[in-house]
Structure 1
Amino acid sequence: MAKNTTQHYRMKKFLSYYIPYLRLFFADMGCAVIQSATTLLLPLCISYITKNILTEPTAGALNQIYIMGAIMLALVIVHTACNLFVSYQGHVMGAFMERDVRSELFDHYQKLSFTFYDEQKTGLLMSRLTNDSLNLAELYHHGPEDIVISLLNFIGAFIILININVKLALIVVLFLPIMTVYAFYFNKKMNVALRDSLDRIADINAQVEDTLGGIRVVKSFTNEQIEKTKFAYENNRFVDSRRYGYKSESYFYEGLVAFTQLMTISVVIFGGISIVNGSLDLSDLLTFILYIGILIEPIKRFGNFTRLYQEGITGFDRIMEILETQPDIQDAANAIKLTHVQGNIEFKDVSFKYKEGYSYVLKNLSLNIKAGEYIALVGFSGVGKTTLCSLIPRFYEVDKGRILLDGKNIKNVTLSSLRRNIGIVQQETYLFAGTVLDNIRYGKLNTSKEEIIEAAKKANAHDFIVTLPEGYDTNIGQRGIKLSGGQKQRLSIARVFLKNPPIIIFDEATSSLDNTSEKAIKDSLEKLTENRTTIVIAHRLSTVRNAQKILVLTKEGIIEQGTHEELIALDGNYANLYNMQLKL
């Protein structure tokens, strides 16, 4: 029952993409109807000439031939005009619908939470957005057109065939059930092969994305051959899937061609016998054979439609699998918008694990951070420092307990207003392809160049930016590849300076900086932390000596807290960490 409900929903969703283009769709279908009508009328014109004019020519025979020639010429012009409209405007309609599907899928990607992306490969998601939507566009355009033309041509041709000779028409009918069963059988095999093929090309995309994304690591370890081997494995899997698909397609199409040829041979043989017996004349047999050609055309179109349908609907199902994936973090029905945020953050018995079956990263953690307070989180890798900070903007949802912002449960406020009030500089710096100006402006889109320059100065980035070939208008390449690690980090910090939020989270933000830059950033951080709630995660304990409170996090939770001097005097975990770093 659930499966039927899902299929019904998906069919409604599939058809919904036609709604914005109904005028164009009906114009396209109208041209398809006219195209089918002209196809059926042309053999009738030829039959009229051969049967009514040439059998017993009269004095006005030439004029009649000229008139029929003019009519057929007009039919060809109309047929060509309609065909041009269907080919051009129909494809444009399909492209529009492909755009809409792709836009909806891209929008949905941005709604999905980190938990979803933790389990997915980027290449697979890209394949949904490109290959699958492209196959869908062809189905949207050619599908209805092929169905309309095939049905009209088949029904029209069959009615005319019955009127010419019932016995010969019945011979044609005998082939149809056999052809239908044959087509249905290999159609199912094609469906399986096409789905497998789409999965394999998605795997190729994932492998390419993984290799090219880490191309510098590949080259530094001279592991090109390993990557070639991995790519060859995925590439060969794709070839194997296509081999099976081509086999099914070959049996499908060539089998239908063989059946149509047998049908034509049967009509010629039994038609010839009928002529010898005097129950059929030659002109009728000629017309019958012409309409057999028209009758065969819908069968070929059906084969084309079957291929398009399998490719398109398989791609659509793969797209729907994503669209039907609900974000596990959404606004509550009565979520309120945060205004005038002070920055009081409180963790109340918070527990969190990444997946069912995994151990808790944080368990029964309680923490109170006052508005404007500058705190530092320290501890060994893997104890949950980054996880703790990721829970505040709801990148992940807590399993137990509550997180309060200014006394409000963050589950009861809108995600956009929550995240708008939090600035984050992450451990892994990400810059977009484009200019320096564009990347800093990402922190606050509607801003002036002067504000951007000021933010860059605060982040100690201005001096190196003006030395670039085109200054702030320099294109920094994909992921900021033309910049050093420290330069990229400073641009990401400048984005947060520009955003100017009441809450700031720095996740090991100075880890990629040299000592000189680190000191400059530390000075800027201290200015930025004034009257703002600031949480800094740091491995370098020297960067957080001036924090108002330092929290030492372990697997057991927060085991120490206090100022740098207080924790050194305590001579516990923090003191051990600090002394270890001094020796390095």
Structure 2
Amino acid sequence: MGLVSKQKYSKRNHRPYPLYRLLEYTRQYRGQIWLASLYSVLNKVFDLAPPALIGIAVDVVVNQQDSIIARWGVQDVYAQFIVLSILTVILWIFESLFEYAHSRQWRNLAQTIQHDLRLDTYQHLQELELAYFEERSTGGLMSILSDDINQLERFLDIGANDLIQVTTTVVVIAGAFFIMAPSVAWMAMLPMPFILWGSVAFQRLLAPRYADVREKVGFLNSRLSNNLSGMLTIKSFVAEDYEAQRVQEESHAYRQSNRKAIALSAAFVPLIRMIILAGFIALLLYGGLAAVQGTITVGTYSVLVFLIQRLLWPLTRLGETFDQYQRAMASTSRVMNLLDTPVAIHTGNVSLRVEKVRGEIELHHVTFAYNNGHDPVIENLSLSVPAGKTVAIVGSTGSGKSTLVKLLLRLYEVQSGSITLDGIELRDLRFDDLRRAIGLVSQDVFLFHGTVAENIAYGSFDATPAEIVHAATIAEAHEFIMQLPQDYDTIVGERGQKLSGGQRQRIAIARAVLKNPPILILDEATSAVDNETEAAIQRSLEKITMNRTTIAIAHRLSTVRNADCIYVMEYGKLVEKGTHEQLVAQQGIYASLWRVQSGLTVASG
């Protein structure tokens, strides 16, 4: 399903029935679904034909020259059996062909829907604001993207075909019964209302239980994802037994939730079998008496006995099919609820070519609180970043420095006030244009599992090897990269775990250099590195900040003392501004922080 179609779908009202919502989503596959359903119906029709051939064979044995085939002009008994054999071969060939056709069609359709649904869900996730991810676990989202969508695919693989073929069986055999022996047809149909009623009742009882199962597996996946990401912490605090116990608790809860669902679903088949037995015995008894009395022929009786087995016994599989169906619908609800999640921050419609960006940023009376709370993280903040200048923002932990970065990238939306870039409101700009104009080097560097070269070229995917090497050289990363086992082709590991913090930081700087944005944001870029690495990073930053608008968020004041202007924040408010020398002379908050970090306070004491 295309992204446009998905966006249209996600704007619709919430639908209470998962199947209805799934059918709406799969509307564009309707032609393929009809074709797969046709193959399923034809396969079942040809599959139900052999009992009729058995009845004809019995008729040939009993009536010989007066048999049904004899009425077609074939009098010789041997020739009649030859005709019967040819018909059998033809029916089996067509049954096998449509078996192959419906199996291939349903499976390919299941794979296509699974593929498109996963992509649509992931694309929609990417459109959601950062707060959505901060309030939810990665494991829970992974459970929806992987396990829930796979559960739906498993149902489309088998369950949809089973439901269609059971329905076809009921219609075809019921019609045959009323045509061949209307006097005993009611006996075969007698169990049907009870079976259907039982199926609906079980479906309603199973729905909340399987919803609980999907919720529990989400919790379990969240725990496992968290623990795998935090393995270093687990080992360093000798918490293996503690975490194993927590995983055991989540897994036990999942198992108990499944047990409750299984206890109910497992009871379906035995109960249905008892109902089916009543219909089978009734036909066996009264149909047999009718054949003895001559009301129906022996051949017809034979066909009826075989047909009622083909009608009633497959209904026992409804338990398994409904089990698959309920699991799939529980998963569908979770997936569709995610697709229905509204996008809180929308892109603007003003285009801005990156090469035309001057980089002048203005904040006018900006106020922001997380979750629209009453305690602002940033309150009535106004500041100016001139084009091509380096501005530093400093302050104690929790003063709102990093939040400001998220607002500049529009990862969050301001509650009041405005932020402009070159005089244009950020909310009016297209996301792509705004974020291409900004290069972010964060203290929390994220490297993807892949090569060093791939991570440097991330976001600049068409970069040449020479450009990658040039960017690494400017970032003073080339030397250590060449000492790696496969230099630029070395795999860095998940989150870059095979590299040191300083190496990861320099690769992040090389990534920003290669992007060559008109605006550079350094968010505590040297806070987690040693002095030698900091010196190397500072040398590279001096090169890449020239003639470029730079915003340096810093806790370590020595890294920003040469900034054109330093803003000091405290509790989300701007309390001081000026150059390093001016702020030291003011003897305010900045001067106090400078004395502590430079050791002057200790020395004077």
Q: TM-score range by the shorter chain?
A: over 0.9
Distance 1:280 1:13, change over 3 A: closer
Tell me the amino acid that sits aligned with residue 43 of structure 2: Q
Tell me the amino acid that sits aligned with residue 56 of structure 2: Y
Preserved CA contact (<8 Å) 2:372 2:415 = no
Tell me the amino acid that sits aligned with residue 542 of structure 1: S
In 2, distance between residues paired with 1:278 and 1:187? 44
- Of 375, 387, 408, the residue aligned with 1:359 is 375
Offset, 1:276: 5.1
| 1:140 alignment partner, SS class | helix
1:6 maps to 2:14: yes
Query: Which residue is equivalent to 1:309?
Result: 325
1:106 maps to 2:122: yes
Percent identical residues: 33
Query: Which residue is equivalent to 1:467?
Result: 483
1:442 maps to 2:450: no
- Of 433, 446, 468, the residue aligned with 2:449 is 433
Offset, 1:36: 2.1
Query: Which residue is equivalent to 2:582?
Result: 566
- Of 208, 212, 215, the residue aligned with 2:228 is 212
1:168-317 pair list within 5 angstroms:
168-275=184-291, 277-296=293-312, 299-300=315-316, 302-317=318-333
Tell me the amino acid that sits aligned with residue 412 of structure 2: Y
Q: Summarize deviations over 1:328-378 as a string: whole Å, max 9, x none.
A: 11113x433355111111111100001133510011111111111211111
Name which of structure 1's ranges 433-442 and 505-514 shifts more when overlaid on structure 2.
505-514
1:78-93 pair list within 5 angstroms:
78-93=94-109
Q: Summarize deviations over 1:20-74 as a string: whole Å, max 9, x none.
A: 65564444333223212212322111111212x1113347112211210221122
Preserved CA contact (<8 Å) 1:460 1:517 = no
1:322 maps to 2:329: no
| 1:394 alignment partner, SS class | coil
1:579 maps to 2:586: no
Query: Which residue is equivalent to 1:29?
Result: 37
Q: How many residues align?
A: 580
Query: Which residue is equivalent to 1:56?
Result: 63
1:164 maps to 2:212: no
- Of 516, 521, 536, the residue aligned with 2:532 is 516
Preserved CA contact (<8 Å) 1:139 1:312 = yes
Preserved CA contact (<8 Å) 1:17 1:100 = no
Distance 1:475 1:30, change over 3 A: same
The TM-score, its normalising length taken from structure 2, stands at 0.91
Offset, 1:148: 3.4
Unpaired stretches in structure 1, ≥5 consecutive residues: none
- Of 42, 46, 49, the residue aligned with 2:50 is 42
| 1:468 alignment partner, SS class | coil
Offset, 1:11: 6.2
Query: Which residue is equivalent to 1:116?
Result: 132
Query: Which residue is equivalent to 2:3?
Result: none
Offset, 1:8: 8.3
| 1:137 alignment partner, SS class | helix
In 1, distance between residues paired with 2:13 and 2:188? 39
RMSD (Å) for aligned C-alpha atoms? 2.2
The TM-score, its normalising length taken from structure 1, stands at 0.94
In 2, distance between residues paired with 1:434 and 1:410? 33
Query: Which residue is equivalent to 1:337?
Result: 352
Distance 1:6 1:27, change over 3 A: same
Name which of structure 1's ranges 270-279 and 458-467 shifts more when overlaid on structure 2.
270-279
Preserved CA contact (<8 Å) 1:32 1:83 = yes
Preserved CA contact (<8 Å) 1:338 1:414 = no
| 1:327 alignment partner, SS class | coil
Offset, 1:205: 0.9
Name which of structure 1's ranges 526-535 and 412-421 shifts more when overlaid on structure 2.
526-535
Query: Which residue is equivalent to 1:371?
Result: 387
In 1, distance between residues paired with 2:353 and 2:504? 31
Distance 1:560 1:5, change over 3 A: closer
Query: Which residue is equivalent to 1:495?
Result: 511
Preserved CA contact (<8 Å) 1:546 1:564 = yes
Offset, 1:147: 3.9
Preserved CA contact (<8 Å) 1:207 1:231 = yes
Offset, 1:119: 0.9
| 2:48 alignment partner, SS class | helix
